[in-house]
A = this chain, B = another copy of it.
Amino acid sequence: MTQFAAPQFVSPSAASTVLDVARLANVSASTVSRILNGNARVSPDKREAVEEAIRKLKFRPNLSARSLRSRSTKTIGILTQDLESPYFTGGTKGIEQGLLGSGYAPLVVPGHWNLAEELDRARLLISRKVDAMIILGGTLGDDHIAEMAQQQPIAVTGRHLVAANVYSFHFDQVAGGRMATEHLISLGHKRIAHITGPVTHSDAVERKEGYLQAHANARLSVDPRLIVEGDYVEEGGERAINSLLDSKVPFSAVFCANDPTLWGARLALHRRGIEVPGQISLVGFDDMPQSMYMTPPVTTVRQPMHQMGQVAAQAVLRALGLVDMESYPLPSLNLVVRETTASFDL
């Protein structure tokens, strides 16, 4: 990598203020402010002069000052978990899109699945006086969220929480797990393994519950040796498949708790020369963008995080009094069948 450093430090040129503008335009600061906000009548000639001065001075209002006085930062805080994971970036992008044109800007901070850090970041957002907050998943307690909602409206995804000033949205993870498993069952699979997510994630245990329910509904027994714990990332999927294979317990399909788990599993299978879906069928969860371009493209339960983000953005906007906006439909989970699953014939 090549680096080019600045020759020397230059002290920042002082930014101009309303007062500078006022002086140049021969009006008072109040008039400048009125023109900036367009909420009062001002004579056309003064308006002209002020606009000219603003242009000349390249004036940009100081948002700290503005929000100190007007108690609105026009900012929505987003507490996400991982800045890199497609699951969260999908949601973030949806929020950003939902906010588009509303005049509100997103402020994104990562919590890293760590309670202390999440709490700290959330408080940072409150300190910054965000007008509303959107929490994507995470491990914050319901009581914490309810308490923070006293300061500003909060939309939260991935949980069901009834409290004043909070709007919660979530997908039915049990139903998702059921869907994935039922698809496999309908293809004739009888010995279906499951690589779970971390037991600390409630959605992981719900997906497993769905896997169990699907078996019960079909009056199929589940072999506990076929359930192995993963960690929601690729390595866990590889490890799990290898231990499954090494245990010699037979199975013809695997329901992976999320897509990265499936990717890891798929690579391990490839390394061992086992064909997908020829010998083993695979179903994932999340439908992350890359899943569509795997070889072969993966069958997975789609979580429309993008739309979820839009809906969450919309909810807080509405809570802030912006009612005149197009309404996005509430999305739901759905199975997208691609090519990692095939019917099982004895």
Which residues from chain A sit less than 8 Å from chain B, CB to CB?
A: 1-10, 12-13, 15, 60-65, 67-68, 73, 83-84, 86, 89-90, 92-93, 96, 105-110, 123-124, 126-129, 149-153, 160-172, 234, 260, 263-264, 266-267, 270, 289-290, 292-297, 308, 311, 315, 319, 330-333
Contacts and interface: CB of A to CB of B under 8 A. Distances in A.
Given A1-B169, A96-B110, A290-B290, 18 more contacts: A1-B172, A3-B169, A3-B330, A5-B315, A6-B167, A7-B162, A8-B164, A9-B165, A10-B150, A13-B151, A15-B151, A63-B128, A83-B92, A83-B93, A84-B86, A105-B109, A106-B108, A106-B109
Contacts of A164: 6-10
A250 B331 CA distance: 46
B9 A319 contact: yes
A295 B294 contact: yes
Nearest to A151: B12
Contacts of A67: 64
Q: How many copies does the complex hold?
A: 2
Contacts of A165: 6, 9-10, 12
Contacts of A123: 60
A83 B99 CA distance: 14
Contacts of A166: 6
A289 B259 CA distance: 14
Nearest to A107: B107
